[in-house]
């Protein structure tokens, strides 16, 4: 493979005999994973090293059997959390079975997606828990096209690794794969220049932003990308756990996209200090983004979808005049975009479902309400908060309008949300049966509003509630409805 530096990668600088940093975790927080949750049931008796190694061997055997090439290729990338070594151990197991692993070190999910697609790798693995708490963990699995695997494919891989035997036969050195560290210059060419700078529609000369990297993977790319577009980005919250005292929280801790929604005053101060026009806050793997203007107004995925949809439509780059969002997004999108000739298609929650709909039906733009934006433009695949920020900045420069002006006609409905932690999660049907009987919920729905509820897919024990009023609804009723729903939910969980 020309252009690769053929050496083992070790972000921390200390190598074991086999070239990988070998550590045991400070706590078994891997139990919160969406994919490597298999380690939870395999890493019994404190066997935190052998389990991921065995999983890598099992996955390697599977890829060797299924791949059309002699040496399958797997691309790795991580955000800077404590559990990086788990993916490293899986990589050692893969190498032992003849699989070549390409390690990007700390990289956004979008970067992993880009390289996986360019190499047509058999699998891409981005080790991250995205916007979740710093000690959570998970893996986003990507196919050779850089898009997320289906839930069925991911479940098969999870089962395969969960059933991996803890004893396995070694292979001869001639049959082993190799661990490759992608050179920094090549990653910059493929991802930063090709996916972030090149498609920027206008120079950002004179435009300044504050960019909150959430102590995550975006720190590696954000400033460089804005500079390449002639803009200026002052990166903040950009330390990794490797530079922090042992066990001190970093990633997404009092920073990042979720924090920014509730603490805009932090960013107003930073905007003023750096003399910037706007602040953007991403998350651990850089796939989502929140924006804050100098007055402390917060803008999220629904605002971005509204702005970018009208921009693309004006340029003739919105196929079928259709955009995609998830069910939880504000119904004000229909109220505001449909009269302007833009149709809304809704999917279940999760950017995986947006991806499936967009690429299967040829739609160009999709956003989750949390700020995960997808662009089916022949360049991008995974959600990318850095690219979303660059494009929004370019639209502001080109139009001469701030975010407030660009969203002035977006008629957002009153929508309130709540997350309830429960020691026992009742079934979806049981919750629906209880909460749908509340008179105030019936009143909201009868008037054209809606009530949604679901279990979190990323945080164990968390149940989410959403109340949305009709276009002429009442904030007081929404607050009362949410309070009654929370109370009833807790009562249901105790019975």
- Given this model, what pLDDT does residue 10 score? 31
Answer with the residue of higher pLDDT: 416 or 176. Answer: 416
Does residue 178 sit within a domain?
yes
Give percent above pLDDT 70 in the chain.
Answer: 82
DSSP state of 200: -
The Cα–Cα gap between 300 and 76 comes to: 29
Tell whether the model's pLDDT for residue 29 goes beyond 50: no
**DSSP 3-state assignment of 266?**
helix
Based on the domain organization, do 210 and 271 belong to the same domain? yes
The Cα–Cα gap between 95 and 176 comes to: 6
Answer with the residue of higher pLDDT: 183 or 473. Answer: 473
Answer with the residue of higher pLDDT: 443 or 19. Answer: 443
Based on the domain organization, do 138 and 206 belong to the same domain? no
Answer with the residue of higher pLDDT: 367 or 171. Answer: 367
Tell whether the model's pLDDT for residue 95 goes beyond 80: yes
Residues belonging to the chain:
495
Tell whether the model's pLDDT for residue 91 goes beyond 80: yes
The pTM assigned to this predicted structure is 0.86
CATH of the domain at 92: 3.40.120.10
Mean pLDDT of 378-403: 97
121-145 pLDDT, tens digit each = 999 999 886 776 666 667 889 999 9
**CB within 8 Å of 83: residues ≥ 6 apart:** 25, 29, 30, 127, 137
Based on the domain organization, do 366 and 385 belong to the same domain? yes
CATH of the domain at 423: 3.30.310.50
The Cα–Cα gap between 7 and 441 comes to: 60
Based on the domain organization, do 51 and 149 belong to the same domain? yes
Tell whether the model's pLDDT for residue 407 goes beyond 90: yes
Of residues 164, 218, 155, the one with CA closest to residue 192: 218
pLDDT band at 493 (very low <50, low <70, confident <90, very high): confident
Tell whether the model's pLDDT for residue 15 goes beyond 50: no
pLDDT band at 320 (very low <50, low <70, confident <90, very high): very high
- Given this model, what pLDDT does residue 136 score? 65
- Given this model, what pLDDT does residue 271 score? 97
Tell whether the model's pLDDT for residue 100 goes beyond 80: yes
Based on the domain organization, do 135 and 235 belong to the same domain? no
Task: Point out the least confidently predicted range of 62-76, 150-164, 391-405.
Answer: 150-164
- Given this model, what pLDDT does residue 1 score? 28
Tell whether the model's pLDDT for residue 279 goes beyond 80: yes
Does residue 363 sit within a domain?
yes
Based on the domain organization, do 178 and 197 belong to the same domain? no
- Given this model, what pLDDT does residue 292 score? 98
Mean pLDDT of 30-47: 39
Does residue 264 sit within a domain?
yes
Based on the domain organization, do 235 and 372 belong to the same domain? yes
- Given this model, what pLDDT does residue 11 score? 33
DSSP state of 334: H
Does residue 6 sit within a domain?
no
Domain end call among 375, 406, 437? 406
- Given this model, what pLDDT does residue 375 score? 97
Of residues 336, 318, 351, 465, the one with CA closest to residue 410: 336
**Pairing state of beta strands 73-78 and 139-142?**
unpaired
Does residue 249 sit within a domain?
yes
Domain end call among 182, 213, 232? 182
Count of the separate structural domains present in the chain: 3
**Domain enclosing residue 151, as ranges:** 29-182
**Pairing state of beta strands 139-142 and 123-127?**
antiparallel
Based on the domain organization, do 198 and 286 belong to the same domain? yes
187-246 pLDDT, tens digit each = 989 999 999 999 999 999 999 999 999 998 999 999 999 999 999 999 998 875 445 544
Based on the domain organization, do 477 and 351 belong to the same domain? no
| Cβ proximity of 131 and 109 under 8 Å | no
- Given this model, what pLDDT does residue 430 score? 73
293 Ramachandran zone, left/alpha/beta (phi>0; psi -120 to 50): beta
Does residue 24 sit within a domain?
no
H or E segment and range at residue 107: none
Angle (deg, nearest 10), helices 385-399 and 301-314: 60
pLDDT band at 5 (very low <50, low <70, confident <90, very high): very low
pLDDT band at 344 (very low <50, low <70, confident <90, very high): very high
- Given this model, what pLDDT does residue 31 score? 28
- Given this model, what pLDDT does residue 96 score? 87
Does residue 23 sit within a domain?
no
pLDDT band at 27 (very low <50, low <70, confident <90, very high): very low
Q: What is the DSSP string of 83-104?
A: THHHHHHHHHHHHTTT-EEEEE
| b/e map 270-301, b = 16+ CB within 10 Å | bbeebebbbbbbbbbbbbbbbbbbeeeebbbb
- Given this model, what pLDDT does residue 170 score? 64
Does residue 5 sit within a domain?
no
- Given this model, what pLDDT does residue 45 score? 36
In order of 176, 222, 388, the CA distances from 226 in angstroms are 41, 6, 12
Based on the domain organization, do 115 and 247 belong to the same domain? no
Tell whether the model's pLDDT for residue 164 goes beyond 90: no
- Given this model, what pLDDT does residue 138 score? 76
Based on the domain organization, do 202 and 149 belong to the same domain? no
Domain end call among 167, 182, 197? 182
pLDDT band at 252 (very low <50, low <70, confident <90, very high): confident
Based on the domain organization, do 235 and 322 belong to the same domain? yes
Order of strands, sheet of 415-421, starting from the edge strand that comes earlier in the sequence: 415-421, 462-468, 450-455
Tell whether the model's pLDDT for residue 16 goes beyond 70: no
Answer with the residue of higher pLDDT: 428 or 67. Answer: 67
- Given this model, what pLDDT does residue 458 score? 66
The Cα–Cα gap between 61 and 76 comes to: 18
- Given this model, what pLDDT does residue 137 score? 66
Mean pLDDT of 411-416: 96
């Amino acid at each position: 493979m020309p252009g690769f530096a053929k050496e083992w990668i070790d972000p921390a600088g200390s190598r074991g005999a086999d070239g990988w940093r070998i550590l045991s975790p400070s706590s078994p927080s891997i139990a919160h994973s969406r994919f490597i949750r298999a380690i939870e049931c395999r890493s019994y008796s404190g066997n935190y090293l052998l389990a991921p190694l065995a999983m890598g061997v099992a996955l390697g055997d599977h890829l060797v059997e299924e791949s059309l090439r002699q040496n399958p290729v797997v691309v790795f990338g991580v955000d800077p959390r404590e559990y990086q070594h788990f993916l490293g151990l899986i990589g050692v197991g893969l190498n032992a079975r003849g699989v070549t692993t390409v390690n990007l070190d700390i990289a956004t999910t979008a970067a992993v997606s880009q390289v996986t697609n360019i190499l047509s790798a058999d699998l891409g693995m981005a080790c991250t828990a995205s916007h979740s708490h710093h000690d959570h963990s998970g893996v986003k699995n990507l196919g050779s096209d850089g898009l997320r695997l289906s839930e069925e494919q991911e479940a098969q891989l999870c089962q395969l690794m969960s059933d991996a035997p803890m004893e396995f036969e070694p292979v001869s050195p001639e049959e082993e794969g190799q661990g490759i560290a992608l050179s920094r210059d090549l990653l910059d060419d493929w991802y930063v220049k090709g996916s972030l700078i090149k498609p920027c529609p206008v120079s950002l000369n004179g435009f300044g932003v504050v960019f909150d990297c959430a102590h995550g993977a975006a720190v590696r790319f954000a400033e460089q990308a804005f500079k390449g577009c002639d803009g200026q980005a002052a990166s903040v919250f950009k330390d990794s756990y490797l530079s922090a005292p042992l066990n001190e929280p970093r990633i997404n801790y009092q920073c990042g996209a979720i924090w920014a929604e509730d603490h805009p005053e932090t960013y107003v101060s930073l905007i003023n200090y750096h003399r910037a026009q706007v602040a953007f806050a991403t998350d651990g793997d850089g796939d989502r983004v929140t924006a804050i203007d100098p007055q402390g107004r917060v803008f999220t995925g629904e605002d971005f979808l509204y702005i970018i949809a009208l921009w693309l439509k004006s340029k003739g780059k919105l196929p079928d005049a259709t955009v995609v969002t998830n069910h939880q997004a504000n119904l004000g999108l229909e109220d505001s975009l449909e009269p302007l000739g833009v149709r809304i298609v809704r999917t279940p929650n999760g950017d995986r479902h947006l991806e499936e709909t967009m690429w299967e039906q040829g739609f160009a733009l999709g956003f989750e309400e949390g700020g995960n934006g997808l662009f089916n433009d022949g360049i991008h695949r995974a959600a990318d908060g850095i690219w979303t920020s660059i494009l929004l900045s370019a639209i502001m420069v080109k139009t001469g309008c701030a975010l407030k002006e660009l969203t002035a006609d977006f008629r957002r409905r009153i929508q309130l949300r709540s997350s309830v932690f429960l020691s026992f999660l009742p079934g979806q049907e049981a919750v629906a049966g209880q909460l749908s009987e509340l008179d105030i919920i019936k009143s909201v729905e009868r008037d054209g509003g809606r009530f949604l509820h679901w279990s979190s897919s990323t945080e164990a024990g968390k149940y989410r509630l959403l109340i949305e009023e009709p276009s002429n609804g009442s904030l007081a009723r929404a607050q009362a409805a949410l309070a009654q729903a929370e109370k009833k939910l807790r009562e249901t969980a105790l019975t």
